[in-house]
């Protein structure tokens, strides 16, 4: 029996759990920013913030993206958008790193600190003699 779907459902639930457990409307801005690092919780906070603007009849518009309805939390729609943008970079970096260190069945794994090496960013420098030796062995026409 394959357990990947069950694991993914559990991980999805864990991402949403902070939003369910914590009383989101009464949290401070900094706690909401930390909770927003989980994409599902951040999206939920954003939807609640938009719903609050809709509830008072103003709606979420470009001119009120930076405004907050609550003096206590001072959390705005632009904060939600910022945290989702931060999520993109964090999870993009994690994907790139994990794919390089654990590439799967057909890839060649890199060392855990591969991104700190000069060869990763600039490649191997070959002298002109090395390049000449490599091209001498390649036949130009098939025989």
Q: What is the pLDDT of residues 73-103, one digit of tens each?
A: 677 888 888 988 999 999 999 999 999 999 8
Domain residues for 30? 4-110
Confidence at residue 62, expressed as pLDDT on a 0 to 100 scale? 84
130 is a domain residue: no
pLDDT digits (tens, 9 = 90+) for 32-69: 888 888 888 888 888 888 888 888 888 888 888 888 77
DSSP the chain: ---HHHHHHHHHHHHHHHHHHS-GGGS-HHHHHHHTTSHHHHHHHHHHHHHHHHHTT----GGGTT--S-TTT---HHHHHHHHHHHHHHHHHHHHHHHHHS--SSS-PPPTTGGGSHHHHH-----HHHHHHHHHTS-SS--
Is 123 within the bounds of a domain? no
The mean pLDDT of 124-128, rounded to a whole number, is 65
Compute the mean pLDDT over every residue in the chain, rounded to the nearest whole number: 80
Say if 99 falls within a structural domain: yes
């Amino acid at each position: 029996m394959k357990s990947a779907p069950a694991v993914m459902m559990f991980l999805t639930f864990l991402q949403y759990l902070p939003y369910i457990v914590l009383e989101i409307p009464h949290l401070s801005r900094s706690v909401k920013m930390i909770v927003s690092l989980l994409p599902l919780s951040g999206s939920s906070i954003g939807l609640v913030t938009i719903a609050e603007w809709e509830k008072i009849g103003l709606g979420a518009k470009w001119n009120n993206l930076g405004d907050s309805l609550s003096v206590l939390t001072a959390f705005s729609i632009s904060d939600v958008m910022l945290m989702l943008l931060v999520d993109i970079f964090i999870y993009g970096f994690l994907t790139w790193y994990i794919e390089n260190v654990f590439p799967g069945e057909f890839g060649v794994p890199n060392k855990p600190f591969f991104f700190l090496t000069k060869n990763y960013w600039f490649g191997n420098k070959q002298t002109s003699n090395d390049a000449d030796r490599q091209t001498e062995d390649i036949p130009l026409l098939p025989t």
